[in-house]
Structure 1
Amino acid sequence: MAVQWFPGHMHLTKKTIEERIKHIDVVIEMVDARLPGSSANPMLASLTSKRPSLKVLNKQDLADPGCTALWLAHYNGREGTRAIALDTTDGNAAKRLIAPCRELAPTRGNSMARPLRVMICGIPNVGKSTLINRLVGKSAAKAADEAGVTRNEQRIVLEDGFYLFDTPGMLWPRIIVAQSGYNLAASGAVGRNAFDDQEVALELLDYLKPHYATELVARYALKDIDALQSEELLEAIGRNRGSLMAGNKVNMQKAAELLIHDFRVGALGRISLETPQEYARWLAEGKQLDAERQLRKEELQSAGHIRTKPAAKKSAPPKAIPRPRKPVR
């Protein structure tokens, strides 16, 4: 799925991170516990690669506990990385951020002269603003169940010698892992104008059917789903939930919206859309396809089938204005 969603304020966020990272000791990246690989920003990884990292798997209460355990082990096995799982609706759980950050930068935060400077990042709608509100005990950051709410960086003092710098949610310009695009859309990380609900719902069913058939049957009172294709399954969901139009036809758009909503709010149960092994395979396939696509593009350019944009001409430096000669006496 080609998701291209990079509004202007996200360009500004990238610039802000590039400047801020020079003075940061630890980077917290919040990811969605239901799709940790897909919701980890590769652009952020590049920008912050030289800093210790705390991975926060948020919304663990919505994720499959077994999958979450696999992802925690995956991240904690990396050098310079810690990982914890959180549910930001629990005010006490949010305080668990402070200790691992201090462990990642043990020489900082011992005094106000050497405060621990932590930057928290994440894609839109991953729950970062809700977490910050819990940390400071008030509505310090805007929080809403939609992508791209927080727009400005802010600094929050969590305790003596601990500064937290918040940044707006940021996606990356081009998502090369097809399944990641679908998973991000299903989770609400991208705006609705960037994807087709029915396409996302069908891809979601393609994953749920072999992995969470019991949950589908229980939620929608379905029977014999093994014999149904994804389109037939979505139609059955819509019919059972009353998403009908004139002539007793199923409104497939409404059925798709219903399924996606039920996944987002946890009405289907605790579900994860990827394991570390699955995401690694998708990423390898995405990189291979992207390399092949780039190679074909270069071949077409060489053959003259694609017009390349001419390089901008450098403007010539202004000619020096000769000084007026002094009259000869």
Structure 2
Amino acid sequence: MNINWYPGHMKKTKDLITSNLKLVDIVIELLDSRIPYSSKNPDIDKLINNKPRIVVMNKSDLSNEKGNQKWIDYYKSTAQSVILANSINNIGTNNIINEANKVLEEKLELREQKGIRSSSVRAMIVGIPNVGKSTLINSLSGRKGAQTGNRPGITKGKQWIKLKGNIELLDTPGILWPKFDDINVALNLAFTGAIKDEIMDIETLALKLIERLCDQEKTLLENRYDIKVDNCEPIEVMEKIAFKRGCLLKKEEIDYTRVSHLILDEFRRGLIGRITLEYPEDIKNYC
């Protein structure tokens, strides 16, 4: 599959991040805990340079505990501040505010010594589309001002939001990068909904996901759909699921589009199970 999605507003978002970086004290980089490596935009490091940063692994309720712990250990080994969060259920969000104050403790003390009265921290939140930025902001702010949705491209422009405590947050639209050099990264982004389904061959994408799940999480797949997948090709597994779920046309013909959407939707919602698609040790196999 040739997967790329870089609409015009993403170029504008890069410019927005660059031009507003001087206004903030710290950057909150949001990753998808199911794909921490693939959901890390390589352009972000170049854009924010040496600005203090907190890595937040969001959607931790959708990834498995083993994967969460491995990635936490990985980021800690690189001396980066990392927080595990589930913004929908408001888990871990308070830790973000506490960590931001901790990282900036010396800077805030220096402000006080200089007689600067304002003790508010200005932060910028960045991440790929559909990683949960708006949901996290609503959780942090205690309001429902940021529009949310389970599809990429909801946030279109920048907005300043007052959070709990002493933090003002600059929200930015989700941003990808112009070209995915590794097919594994591209597929992981597509599986998790960071790329619009409308631009892809949804049936091939679902077959690729089935192939991955048969390899990594066979038991979860079998339990969810009450099927056996041993020695089955992905298309055979898809057909078994279609019959189980009634994704059929007249004369018992399989509705491949319908069953493809069903499989992808149930994976993204965590209904198949808590699944981590990549681990730190997998990085070496990527391009």
TM-score range, shorter chain: over 0.9
TM-score when normalising by structure 2: 0.92
Q: Name the residue aligned to 1:257.
A: 261
8 Å contact kept, 1:2–1:174:
no
8 Å contact kept, 2:125–2:172:
yes
Helix, strand or coil: the match of 1:60? coil
Aligned pair count reads 281
Q: Does 1:102 align with 2:98?
A: no
Distance 1:220 1:148 in 2: 31
Distance 1:92 1:206 in 2: 32
RMSD over aligned Cα atoms: 1.7
Q: Name the residue aligned to 2:214.
A: 209
Q: Name the residue aligned to 1:36.
A: 36
Helix, strand or coil: the match of 2:89? coil
Distance 2:108 2:139 in 1: 21
8 Å contact kept, 2:38–2:185:
yes
Of the two structures, which has the highest relative contact order with CA contacts closer than 8 Å and spacing of 6 or more? 2
Helix, strand or coil: the match of 1:121? strand
8 Å contact kept, 1:108–1:114:
no
Residue identity in the other structure for 1:251: D
Distance 1:67 1:32 in 2: 12
8 Å contact kept, 1:2–1:175:
no
Give the direction of change, closer, same or farther, for the CA distance of 1:263–1:109 in structure 2 (3 Å limit). Answer: same
Give the direction of change, closer, same or farther, for the CA distance of 1:220–1:92 in structure 2 (3 Å limit). Answer: closer
Helix, strand or coil: the match of 1:108? helix
8 Å contact kept, 1:102–1:108:
no
Q: What's the offset of the Cα at 1:233?
A: 1.0
Residue identity in the other structure for 2:253: K
Residue 145 of structure 2, aligned match among 129, 140, 147 = 140
Q: Which runs of 5+ in 1 are unaligned?
A: 287-329
Residue 128 of structure 2, aligned match among 123, 128, 131 = 123
Distance 2:34 2:13 in 1: 25
Q: What's the offset of the Cα at 1:104?
A: 2.1
Residue identity in the other structure for 1:261: D
8 Å contact kept, 2:85–2:91:
no
Residue identity in the other structure for 2:137: I
Give the direction of change, closer, same or farther, for the CA distance of 1:252–1:159 in structure 2 (3 Å limit). Answer: closer
TM-score when normalising by structure 1: 0.81
Distance 1:108 1:247 in 2: 70
List aligned pairs for 1:94-243, cutoff 5 A. Answer: 94-110=93-109, 112-113=117-118, 115-159=120-164, 161-223=166-228, 225-243=229-247
Distance 1:246 1:85 in 2: 47
Residue identity in the other structure for 1:30: L
8 Å contact kept, 2:129–2:175:
yes
Residue identity in the other structure for 2:71: W
Give the direction of change, closer, same or farther, for the CA distance of 1:240–1:142 in structure 2 (3 Å limit). Answer: same
Give the direction of change, closer, same or farther, for the CA distance of 1:163–1:239 in structure 2 (3 Å limit). Answer: same
Distance 1:161 1:73 in 2: 29
Greater than 4 Å deviation, 4+ residue runs: none
Distance 1:228 1:92 in 2: 39
